[in-house]
């Protein structure tokens, strides 16, 4: 029986890391592999969260009553359907190979057989010579990728690169003079602005849904995917399986995000990767085939008086906190850039590059902006004393991805 007091559990639960991948997810990505018969659809429904996300009807905010139609006419031809297929070998439990078991049951009929899983997602063309942005999970493990344009033309696609941490991928088709999207600036988004999603939910090509921007800067931990490094856009525009990788647009028809995920059982909660993030990662994938992510190697939590009290009252925490504000470092990974710079668990980050920080999200954002090998100056409090430490972010370890 677990005899730990509830308040001791709660602060530990809050100590989530934005510089260190944690396991566990409450989110279902809306685009993964869809089965090609009813039985497989039923089996995968729980994984794909097929429930609709009901979009709220936004208030009129544009003087042109047909502006959504014009956006769709402009952008629709550059939105594609991506069909992928991967071969999966059937593996039976080791116990089934036991000679004693085989003596009575013989060879299992499905043993060693391969099966093909097929999936459908969306994407959008960013260059007229055939570069396409989509989600990494749409083409994960794919043996073949087929891209279908709105005009019906079909091309074989090649995965240029995938980045698991941001769920961004680039696919290339051999074609020229293709219609392309216009990229906007996701850093300027504000809640309440129009949001228009175009994609291929459940194979229904070029479906359009509308809503608003419900929120910005939603951390991966808030959304329920702590293994991702994205500050998500939240929207109530309906996003369903097959929408993954499609564009989220503003009222001018500019791409402001890449539709990515829904939360199982929620209503009106869709999430998109900001286009500035997707563009930054895609540029690296196009240049080198992979993306590098800066890494400090710390677990941290934003301090409040309540968090301070819970930590200090926990005899097993091994940390005593005297500050009410800042970002508390819970753990430092061995041999990480933070450890090599002399950062310790129990340190409280007060400022980063001269700017005050109050939550882990702000620290993570600063690390991303510093890039690998950049300079970060941390103003810390340690055992009641103020000190400064300089650290250079390293490359996020592949064994943590």
* Residue 137: active-site member: yes
Name the active-site residue from 17, 19, 122, 137: 137
Domain 293-400 annotated CATH 2.30.42.10 = yes
Residue in the block written with tokens 């060693």: 112
Delimit the domains of the chain by residue range.
49-77+180-288, 293-400
pLDDT in tens, the chain (401 residues): 444 554 544 444 444 433 333 333 333 344 433 334 344 433 433 333 333 334 445 445 556 888 999 999 999 999 999 999 888 766 656 655 666 555 555 555 555 567 777 888 999 999 999 999 999 999 998 889 999 999 999 999 999 999 999 999 999 999 999 999 999 999 999 999 999 999 998 878 889 999 999 999 998 888 878 788 899 999 999 988 889 999 999 999 999 999 987 777 777 889 999 999 999 999 999 999 999 899 999 999 888 888 888 888 887 777 777 788 899 999 999 999 999 999 998 999 999 999 888 888 888 888 888 888 888 999 999 988 999 999 999 998 876 65
pLDDT of residue 100: 58
Predicted local confidence at residue 41, as pLDDT: 34
Same fold, 49-77+180-288 and 293-400: no
- The CATH number fitting domain 49-77+180-288, selected from 1.20.950.20, 3.20.20.20, 3.40.50.300, 2.40.10.120: 2.40.10.120
The rounded distance, in Å, linking the Cα atoms of 22 and 375 is 25
Catalytic member of 163, 167, 236, 347 = 167
Establish whether 163 is a catalytic residue. Answer: no
Long-range pairs for 209-214: beta carbons < 8 A, 24 or more residues apart: 209/55, 209/237, 209/238, 209/239, 210/55, 210/58, 210/68, 210/237, 211/55, 211/56, 211/58, 211/235, 211/236, 211/237, 211/238, 211/268, 211/270, 212/56, 212/58, 212/236, 212/237, 213/189, 214/268, 214/269
Q: Choose, from 244, 272, 282, 317, the residue flagged as catalytic.
A: 244
């Amino acid at each position: 029986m677990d005899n730990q007091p509830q308040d001791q559990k709660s602060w530990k639960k809050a100590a989530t890391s934005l510089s260190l991948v944690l396991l566990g997810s409450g989110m279902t990505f809306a685009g993964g592999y869809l089965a090609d018969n009813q039985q497989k659809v039923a089996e995968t429904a729980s994984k794909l969260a097929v429930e609709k996300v009901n979009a709220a009807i936004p208030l009129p905010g544009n003087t042109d009553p047909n502006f959504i139609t014009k956006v769709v006419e402009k952008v629709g031809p550059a939105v594609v359907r991506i069909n992928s297929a991967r071969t999966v070998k059937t593996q039976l439990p080791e116990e089934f190979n036991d000679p004693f078991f085989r003596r009575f049951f013989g060879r299992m009929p499905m043993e060693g057989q391969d099966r093909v899983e097929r999936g459908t997602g969306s994407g959008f063309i960013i260059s007229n010579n055939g570069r396409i942005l989509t989600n990494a999970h749409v083409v994960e493990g794919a043996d073949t990728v087929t891209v279908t344009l709105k005009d019906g033309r079909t091309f074989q696609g090649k995965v240029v690169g995938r980045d698991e941490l941001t769920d961004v991928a680039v696919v290339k088709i051999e074609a020229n003079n293709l219609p392309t999207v216009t990229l906007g600036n996701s850093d300027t988004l504000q809640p309440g602005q129009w949001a228009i999603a175009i994609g291929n939910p459940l194979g229904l090509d070029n479906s359009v849904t509308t809503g608003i921007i419900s929120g910005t800067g939603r951390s991966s931990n808030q959304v329920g995917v702590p293994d991702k490094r994205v500050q998500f856009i939240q929207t109530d525009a309906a996003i369903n399986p097959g929408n993954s990788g499609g564009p989220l647009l503003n009222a001018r028809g500019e791409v402001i995000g890449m539709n990515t995920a829904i939360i199982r059982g929620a209503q009106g909660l869709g999430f998109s990767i900001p286009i500035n993030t997707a563009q930054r990662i895609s540029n690296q994938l196009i240049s080198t085939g992979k993306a590098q992510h800066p890494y400090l190697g710390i677990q941290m939590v934003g301090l409040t008086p309540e968090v301070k009290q819970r930590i200090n009252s926990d005899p097993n925490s091994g940390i005593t906190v005297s500050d009410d504000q800042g970002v508390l470092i819970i753990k430092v990974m061995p041999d990480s850039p933070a450890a090599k710079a002399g950062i310790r668990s129990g340190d409280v980050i007060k400022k980063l590059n001269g700017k005050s920080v109050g939550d882990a999200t702000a620290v993570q954002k600063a690390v991303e902006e510093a890039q690998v090998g950049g300079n970060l100056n941390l103003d810390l409090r340690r055992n009641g004393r103020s000190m400064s430490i300089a650290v250079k972010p390293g490359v996020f370890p592949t064994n943590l991805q």
